[in-house]
Structure formats: C-alpha cells, structure tokens
Amino acid sequence: MSIMCSRGLSLATIFFAMLSNSVFNSAAQSSEPPDSHAVEIAMKNVMYHYTDPIAVHIIHLQGYLTPTKPGATVVFDDKNSFTLVLASAEISISCSALAQVLNENVFSASDAPLKSLSIESQNDQLTIKGTLPQKANVTFETVGTVSADADGRIRLHSDHIKAAHLPVKGLLDLLGIDLPRLIDVHKIRGITVDKDDIILDPEQILPPPYIRGKVTAVRIQGNEIIQTFGSPQPSNFAAKQPGNYIAFRHGDMQFGKLTMHDADLIMIDIDHRDPFDFFLDHYQDQLVAGYTKSTPQYGLHTYTRDYNKLKKRPTPRTIKQSNNK
C-alpha cells in the first residue's frame, strides 16, 4: 500500500473517506473483480445511512467498488463516481424506511401516480397504503407477499386491493392508468407494474452511491425486508477480523487531496454491542471521535465511533454528487 497526500491531511480523513464507498444492471455473482481498478470491500453488521432517518442494515457483504467511468479512480467525495458491485450480501431494510425511500426518491414528482405511501408487515405479508393524486386523492390499500424475480428484482404480489375501503378488481383498474404511462422511466425510476404486482429494482430506487447485484432471495422478518444478493463466495479477505467492520483491499482510491494505492484499510466499530452505525455524510465526525493504528503490514485500522453515539450531532452536510448517472 502506498499513500500520497498533501500536508495537513489526517490519517483519520483517509480512513473514513474510504468508507464512503459502501453502500443496489448486471449481477455480480463471481469473486473476480469486474474492473482492474476495482477496490475489494467486505462489511459485517453495518447500519448504513442514506439520510439521517433512512438506513439499511448490511448484515454481511462482499463485493467491489468500481469507478463509474472505466479506467478512472474511485473518488469518495463524489457519490456518483463509483458503484458498489455486490458479489454476495444480505441486506435488510425496515418497512418504514422503504416507504420513505419510495415517497422521497421514487414517487416525489408532482405528477406521480402514488403518494403518501406507508408499509407495514404482518404474518409474512406486506400492507401498502397510500393515495391516488390522479383520482382525487382517494386512499388505497394492497396486501400481499414478496418474492425475488429471476432477473434480480423484487416482486410485491397483491392478493387483496381496496380503494376507499372497497374491494377493487385489480391494481391497474385501481390506478386507471395505461401500463406504458405508468412505467414511464423518465418519471418513475425503479418501479414497474405487472398485472396486480409492483416490481421494485433495488439498483435504482435507492439514492447514491448506487449498487449493482441480483436479489436471489427475499423474506419478511418482523418489520424488516431481508434481501439476499448474489451467491456465497469461496473466501472473505477480512474473515479473521472480529466484531463489526468495513474493510478495503487493493485498487486505487481518491478522497480530498489524498490518493491511496493498493488499499489496506479496515474501519472497526468501537462498540461491538450493536451494529456499526455509519453515515457517509458525517464520516469525518465519526473518525474524529475515534482513533487509528498502523499494522505491521503497513495497513491501517481505524477505530470509529457510531454515528448515533456522537455526543453532539453534527450539522447536516452533503457529500458531492456528480451528474454521471
């Protein structure tokens, strides 16, 4: 591993900037890197924040950080400069967090066909409620199951549909909108409708940094929707690391004024009693609250404070997002 940086840039900045890569087109089913510039990544028991209230629980993950532009370097200060390619992962999202993602990131346009969505789970089924702005804001409710499609997307099958508390024949009848208009990708990203089913594409519905990977299984557990991506990998380079962590190996990374070659970095949760709570937008605050050690192999271990345990919550800030997507 080699590092180049300008004077005054702390090692803490190096460590956490690298973490920013963490955090759904084609499947990453192999342990082979998809790009010669890819950075290998492994994660265990991490609560990754897209925003303060929206987070996903990464139970375990193996994959690669790849630059959006082939041959470029992964730049951590630009969320759109890299993609997280999932070779194998188990990631859960709460019903309330998924509803907030749909309201804020998918159906946020003024002319969206669905608004004010809420999602609840009961007896291995999801209940989705909302309003239809194009139908005088009439309320609707669907109850159904979830499954993984062969193409890696998530299917929400509607067993029962109601509008204004009355049974409705089907979802398309309820919406009263032609299917081509409903799935206009210029207006609604990551959502399609197939008869009475709503199909979600995890690669598109979440905000940056974007992911690539096939959902191979999905289940409901309590209030969580648990997604399995890819297939088990033959090995994990960070398997011997105890506790909760985010680990990086190989490849080149740039953050701030610093460039790291042949990365060798593990970000370690100071408190292993609960998931490693991480918010990319506040990585520096988390690093400042922790400490760093060098390894005999010239690697770096940064012991990082949970975001939700910072003594003073930092003022919200935003990591740069380019217009590459």
Q: Which of the pair, 291 or 186, is modelled with greater confidence? A: 291
Same domain, 139 and 156: yes
Q: Judging by beta carbons within 10 Å of its beta carbon (0-12, 13-18, 19+), is residue 300 exposed, middle or buried?
A: buried
Q: Which of the pair, 30 or 168, is modelled with greater confidence? A: 168
Same domain, 109 and 188: yes
Max CA distance (Å), the chain:
68
- CA 280/CA 285 separation, integer angstroms: 10
- Asked if residue 323 belongs to a domain, the reply is no
- Asked if residue 319 belongs to a domain, the reply is no
When mean pLDDT is compared across 47-51, 109-113, 311-315, 321-325, the lowest value belongs to 321-325
Contact between 1 and 261 under an 8 Å Cβ cutoff? The reply is: yes
Answer yes or no: is pLDDT of 108 > 60.
yes
Contact between 233 and 62 under an 8 Å Cβ cutoff? The reply is: yes
| Mean pLDDT, range 279-290, rounded to an integer | 87
**Predicted pLDDT at 136:** 80
| Mean pLDDT, range 175-187, rounded to an integer | 47
pLDDT in tens, 236-275: 999 999 999 999 999 888 776 777 788 888 999 999 999 9
Same domain, 106 and 186: yes
Listed in sequence order, the DSSP H helices in 93-170 are 95-101
| Mean pLDDT, range 45-55, rounded to an integer | 94
**Predicted pLDDT at 113:** 81
Range(s) of the domain holding residue 295: 2-89+231-309
- Asked if residue 314 belongs to a domain, the reply is no
**Predicted pLDDT at 324:** 53
Same domain, 286 and 237: yes
- What residues contact residue 315 under an 8 Å CB cut-off, 6+ apart? none
Same domain, 103 and 191: yes
Answer yes or no: is pLDDT of 4 > 70.
no
Number of domains in the chain: 2
Same domain, 81 and 102: no
Same domain, 116 and 221: yes
When mean pLDDT is compared across 11-20, 136-145, 163-172, 298-307, the lowest value belongs to 11-20
